[in-house]
Amino acid sequence: MPPEALHAGVDEAGRGPLAGPVYAAAVILDPARRIRGLDDSKKLSAGAREALAAAIRERALAWAVAAATVDEIDTLNILRASLLAMRRAVESLPVAPAGILVDGLHCPDVACEARAIVGGDATVPAISAASILAKTARDAEMRTLHERFPQYGFDRHKGYPTADHLAALRQHGACEVYRRSFAPVRAVLGLPPPPARPRRGRAPCE
């Protein structure tokens, strides 16, 4: 891989929720403008994430955020939709990276070299930065959805299957922002479980 300054960290947010898009971000950090406190977004408070997101947008060499829709999640499956969102984020960077470092096991199909790093969102600063941008962007989207559908409480649980969310889903049914390929949503809609799919997908990257 080329020097670290040319790497883009890539991560997603929102694979587990029952509703809303899945988001991804790509970030190329500027080694001359270091950002203190970068970490896996899940380990940070909401206030810390928002402050760091503002610092990343101001100080990074390049950054981009993208999403895959609920329809794309239901059509492709959540893994493929997450990789699609990642690819869109990488392709939206105003500076083309020489390589990308991706949190997890799988890499999106991009033109440059790609490497997956398990736990990278906690150990690679550029991936940490991407996780923070993806998480804060998705949280903002879920707050917007809450304004349209306040009965579900999206502002609190962000679409994750908490007990309160599942109770609201059973009470009010599933509106158009729900992922109909997810079992709890299918159960509320009276749909049968989706057929088992062979685990093909994109192979883990080196």
pLDDT band at 203 (very low <50, low <70, confident <90, very high): very low
pLDDT band for 16, please (50, 70, 90 cuts).
very high
Residue 194 has pLDDT above 90, yes or no: no
What is the share, in percent, of the chain residues with pLDDT greater than 90?
A: 89
Q: To 5 degrees, how large is the angle CA 142–CA 134–CA 173? A: 25
Give mean pLDDT, residues 4-8.
75
Q: Please determine, for residue 24, whether its predicted confidence score (pLDDT) is greater than 90.
A: yes
Name the one residue in this structure whose structure tokens are 């300054």.
Answer: 5
- For residues 22 and 81, is the Cβ–Cβ distance under 8 A? yes
Task: Judge whether residue 204 has pLDDT over 60.
Answer: no
In this predicted structure, what is the pLDDT of residue 197?
64
Model confidence band, residue 201 (pLDDT cutoffs 50, 70, 90): very low
Give yes or no for residue 2 having a pLDDT over 60: no
Residue 196 has pLDDT above 90, yes or no: no
Q: Between 3.40.50.1220, 3.90.1150.10, 3.40.50.300, 3.30.420.10, what CATH number should domain 4-189 receive?
A: 3.30.420.10
Q: What percent of the chain has pLDDT over 70?
A: 92
Domains of the chain: which residue ranges? 4-189
Specify the pLDDT at position 179.
Answer: 98
| Helices 125-148 and 46-59, packing angle to 10 deg | 120
* pLDDT confidence band for 5 (50 / 70 / 90): low
Please tell me the least confidently modeled range out of 5-9, 33-37, 117-121: 5-9
pLDDT value at position 25? 98
3-state secondary structure 87-127: HHHHHHCCCCCCEEEEECCCCCCCCCEEEEECCHHHHCHHH
pLDDT digits (tens, 9 = 90+) for 150-179: 999 999 999 999 999 999 999 999 999 999
Six token digits for residue 181: 């390929």
Q: Which of 38, 78, 74 is nearest to 56 (CA)?
A: 38
- In which order are the strands placed within the sheet that holds 113-117? 62-68, 22-28, 7-13, 99-103, 113-117
**pLDDT tops 50 at residue 1:** no
pLDDT in tens, 26-35: 999 999 999 9
